[in-house]
A and B are shown apart, each in its own frame.
Chain A
Amino acid sequence: AQKVTQAQTEISVVEKEDVTLDCVYETRDTTYYLFWYKQPPSGELVFLIRRNSFDEQNEISGRYSWNFQKSTSSFNFTITASQVVDSAVYFCALSERGGFKTIFGAGTRLFVKA
């Protein structure tokens, strides 16, 4: 069965701090896809990254970086030098090659204080 766990319900940091959002997943499929989405107060889910199970290379995009480790079934997301505009709920999600649906974690609410 598919499952995504985001153990951190809320995180509060001060601007310019680095912050890591944890994501642990479960799947029986050998081919699967992991995603991160951002949901600002407006409510719209914004796509951040997609990673397939065969690509464990870490990725950096500006202040964002992702660490994918199949050995621990984790796909963690780090924001470097956080800014107030980073305040949002962040969701980790999983889909399997043979399926059509995407399973979301419960989300981590990030507060960045000025």
Chain B
Amino acid sequence: DAGVTQSPTHLIKTRGQQVTLRCSPKSGHDTVSWYQQALGQGPQFIFQYYEEEERQRGNFPDRFSGHQFPNYSSELNVNALLLGDSALYLCASSLGPQGGDTQYFGPGTRLTVL
């Protein structure tokens, strides 16, 4: 049973560039959520996708956008990168979008913005 997978593992970009991160959910899961985890902090909710639609968004600017594909995989796009966007980006999948559904996390993508 494949767990949540993310690619790439690490990424280095410069300010102003754009980046795309990818996530494949756990087998049987249809909901994907994205989190940003800065060093020494807890994960912060970015947004959630269910049925190919963004269901809820956290306090993140429009530079952060996403997409969910018919096979439930998802992408996170960040435009006009800032130094402060350097973080571990975690993808989580669940069987359903409701608050009580347990989320299972992938290994994350470490983004460094220089």
Contact = CB atoms under 8 A, between A and B. Distances in A.
A104 B106 contact: no
Given A42-B107, A44-B106, A107 B99 contact: no
Interface string A19-54: 000000000000111010100001111110010100
B48 A100 contact: yes
Interface in B29-47: 33, 35, 41-45
A13 interface: no
Given A45-B43, A45-B90, A104-B43, A99 B107 contact: no
Contact of B45 (A47, A50, A101): A101
A107 B88 CA distance: 15
Contacts of B14: none
B41 A101 contact: no
A100 B97 contact: yes
A102 B107 contact: no
Q: Which of B33, B45, B106 has the most CB of A within 10 A?
A: B45
Interface residues of A, number: 29
Interface in A53-95: 91, 93, 95
Nearest to A106: B42
B29 to A, nearest CB: 13
Interface in B64-104: 88, 90, 92, 97-100, 102-104
Contacts of A93: 42
Nearest to A92: B42
Interface of B: 33, 35, 41-45, 48, 50, 55-56, 58, 88, 90, 92, 97-100, 102-108, 110
Interface of A: 4, 31-33, 35, 37, 42-47, 50, 52, 91, 93, 95-107
